[in-house]
Amino acid sequence: MADLDGVLVVALEQAVAAPFASGRLADAGARVIKIERPEGDFAREYDHLVHGESAYFVWLNRGKESICLDLKQDEDRAILMQMVSRADVFVQNLAPGAVERLGFGAEALRQKFPRLITCSISGYGDEGPLKDLKAYDLLVQAESGLSAITGNEHGSARVGVSVCDIAAGMTAVQSVLQALYARASTGEGRHIAVSLYHALSDWMNVPYLQFAYGGKVPPRSGLNHPTIAPYGSYVCADGKSVLFSIQNEREWLMLCRDALGRPDLAIDPRFDSNSRRVSNRDALNAEIVPIFASRQRDEMADLLRAAKIAYGRVSTLDDVATHPQNRYMLVDTPTGPVRMLAPGALVDGEIPSFRPVPGLGADTERLRLEFSASSLPG
């Protein structure tokens, strides 16, 4: 039996944040019914690169049932209400005010169904001057200040994955699991409000605290650490890069002696402490760059490993696709099985198995019958 077996989640969702949350609940064994508009979750159309399916949709929607409902129609709203009446969790991330206009606002639902856990995911939350704004991941990366500390001296940059959406989805999962645990004791549900902005703001606490209490603005330093040197990326002879980190003077000595073949650098007065290396970063790089440029990436990585220096290859997607550390899983989709990178947790040493990704409206007829008025108990 799966951990969340018997838990029913109704998800009126689209895009990334709410599907991430409901998808992780599905992974844990919950029954997740995904409500899609007749034309489908627009994430289905983000691309068509995975056997004709969207990479986003395949990643986020395994293990769900899909029903198409037109919530402008009374009959379809009635079906959704019947689903919610039996649900343990109702998750939604429609535009601000949309669920209230449809009659599915959290306050109204919890008055009808006190055991229901409602979870609303928005851009900026239910209060404050930005509460009514639409929000997408990159907009919130900018608004939250993440963009100000991401990039290099030439300008800000987008984090390469939908980090605000993922932060909000992770926060929602944690909060829903906590609510389910509490309900086992209290018998009562609760409302959970998560926003992209506030979820990412929590992750921004270190630069916020550094600025608020110390007046320090972290510089945009690309693949280089702003306050430790050497700690950054260096290009090798094959055009590929290695990023390595020196954390103390013992490691600095080992790097110079065993990896760079330049023991003299360890006692150079310009570089004999981290603060001096940071102050003389350009001179330091002038010594290190040619050494890396004279060797292939894998050769340089082997030298760093032998010297017990922490390092990481700057992997391209070609590298990632064949990375020896990867764990994979097979997930069925409407157009065939897909080998995906597995979630981060092993359970008792095993990769869990996962249910298929649904086709658009694949379960509509069956779910309409199950949740029709005549099928309600009593």
- The residues carrying an active-site annotation are 225
Q: Coil, helix or strand for 265?
A: helix
Which residues lie closer than 8 Å to 18 by C-beta, 6 or more apart?
A: 11, 12, 91, 92, 93, 121, 169, 172
Tell me if 234 sits within 8 A of 242, measured CB to CB: yes
The C-alpha atoms of residue 117 and residue 167 are separated, in whole angstroms, by 20
The C-alpha atoms of residue 262 and residue 271 are separated, in whole angstroms, by 13
- Classify residue 53 by burial, with Cβ atoms within 10 Å: 0-12, 13-18, 19+: buried
Q: Say what the alpha-carbon torsion angle 41, 42, 44, 48 is, to the nearest 10 degrees.
A: 170
Query: How many other C-beta atoms can be found within 10 angstroms of the C-beta atom of residue 200?
Result: 24
Instruction: Write down the residue that tokens 């309409």 correspond to.
Output: 368
Which whole-number Å values give the CA distances from 112 to 107, 206, 327, in the listed order? Answer: 9, 42, 44
The C-alpha atoms of residue 374 and residue 223 are separated, in whole angstroms, by 61
- Classify residue 151 by burial, with Cβ atoms within 10 Å: 0-12, 13-18, 19+: middle
Which residues lie closer than 8 Å to 181 by C-beta, 6 or more apart?
A: none
The C-alpha atoms of residue 353 and residue 372 are separated, in whole angstroms, by 32
Exposure string (b/e) for 79-107, b if CB count within 10 Å is 16 or more? Answer: bbbbbbeebbbbbbbbebeebeebebbbe
Which whole-number Å values give the CA distances from 361 to 22, 27, 37, 156, 331, in the listed order? Answer: 17, 20, 9, 41, 19
